[in-house]
Structure formats: structure tokens, C-alpha cells
Amino acid sequence: MTDHSQGGPTVEHPARKDGSPATQEEHLVREVERIAVAIGRMFPGLCEVVLHDLRRPDSSIRAIENNLSGRQVGDSATELGLRRVSDPGHPSVVQNYSNRFPDGRPAKSTSIGIKNADGRYIAALCLNLDVSTLSPLALTLANLVATDVERSGGTLETLRDRTGRELRSAIDAFAAQHSSTPRSLNRDQKRELVRHLHREGFFETRSSAQLIADRLGVSRATVYNYTK
């Protein structure tokens, strides 16, 4: 609302009515500020959370939790914020992009633009994750779950019971892939199947060789010969 006072300049009163656009914008920014504080306090010392009030780009920082960048409330908007101010069509979410704190620490950032009812950016919620503290942890976890077998490319065992049902299912599946039945497979196919079953550990059960032989219509000695 505009106040035309006699002899005085034109003065803007954007928040005079509770239902005015300026008041609605302020309410929205305050709600986002609560979210910023909550997120920051959930990740203390790890993720910097900054709320920019893009209605005041020269002093846009309205709240900052976990201050990792050294910026202060009242500091100006970043390049990304200025682009949003000048271009309402700029992407509302810019996610997981590489960034860096002033002291050189690497960061992973996400910026979320907040628009008013008219489609104009009025705020931005920015998250800057300090990945320098996570990299050693990621390496430690990778080493923790790694095994010597994984490094060598081999498999020592499979933690499951090699039951007769599973073995018959594997044989039937192989035959089906060749549009055949187990007994109708040719010699080379049977050899390929037996070697596959051997690699998969099916021969660890004493009765497996005989079951395979019966399924393929060959002798037990032939089955063992196919494994060579």
C-alpha cells in the first residue's frame, strides 16, 4: 500500500494488512527459516545450512547454522542467488553439486529456491555438506566391508543350503535356456552345465553327482569327467 502524505515522499507499507503479499512472503520465509535451523541442528559441525532472503540480495543471509564458510547474517547473496533474482526461470533445485569452503575443504551442496505466489524467487535454502570429514570415514567403511575374496575375484563359499530342489531347478533352468530338456542336451551342453554347477558349489553335497547324473541320463563317472 502506498501512503501519499502531504509534502512528504511516497512511503511503501508492504505489510500493513495481514493478507498482503508482503506479509504472506514474510510468513513463508519464516517457516523456511525454522526448517533451516532444524536441519542444521540435526547435523552439527557437518552440514552448513544457510537461508538467503533474496528480496534483499545485498544482505541476503538471514540465518546460518553450522557456520563452516565464515559468512555472517547480513552478508550478500552468492552468484547462484543473484541468478535466481534476475531469472525466475532458473532451476528451483540445484542438487549435489561440487563446492568448496573458503579454507579449501571440499563440499557437496544443494540449493533450493523458494518462490512466492507470483513465481518470483524470494528465498533460497542452501545446504553445504563438509565431505572432507566423510572421505576418511568412507574409506574406513570400504576397508571394513571388503574381503580378501573380493579383492582376488574368487568365491570360497555361498551361505545357503545346496538342496536337491535347488540343484534340480538349476539344471532345468539351464535346459530351458537351450530350449531343451536336461536329458536332451548334447554332450557339450551337458559338460558346460556340469562345470557351471561345479563352480557354483553344488558338488559339495555327496548326493549331488548322482542326482545330476540321473537328471542328465549319464553315469556318475561321466559327470565327474565333465568337471575336468
Higher pLDDT, 21 or 224: 224
What is the pTM (predicted TM-score) of this model?
0.55
Query: Would you say the C-alpha torsion 212, 213, 217, 223 has a positive or negative sign?
Result: positive
pLDDT for residue 114: 96
Question: Residue 147: its pLDDT value, please?
Answer: 66
For residue range 82-130, list pLDDT tens digits in order.
Answer: 999 999 999 999 999 999 998 888 899 999 999 999 999 999 999 999 9
Q: Please report, as a single letter, which amino acid is at residue 49.
A: V
The Cα-based distances of 198 to 223, 224, 227 in angstroms read 10, 10, 7
Structure confidence by residue, pLDDT tens digits, 183-211: 999 999 999 999 999 888 888 777 888 88
CA 147, CA 160: separation in Å to the nearest integer? Answer: 19
pLDDT at 13 over 60: no
Q: What distance in Å separates the CA atoms of residue 204 and residue 97, rounded to the nearest whole number?
A: 50
CA-to-CA dists, residue 1 to 10, 30, 56, 115, angstroms? 10, 22, 19, 21
CB contact burial 76-104 (16+ within 10 A = b; e otherwise)? ebbebbeebbeeeeeeeebeeeebeeeee
Confidence band of 15 (pLDDT split at 50, 70, 90): very low
Closest CA to 126 of 192, 62, 204: 62
Whole-angstrom CA distances from 90 to 113, 136, 185 are: 9, 35, 62
Sign of the Cα pseudo-torsion (89, 95, 70, 72, in order): positive
In tens, the pLDDT along 131-169 reads: 887 777 777 777 787 766 555 555 555 445 557 788 888
Per-residue model confidence (pLDDT) at position 1: 37
pLDDT at 18: 59
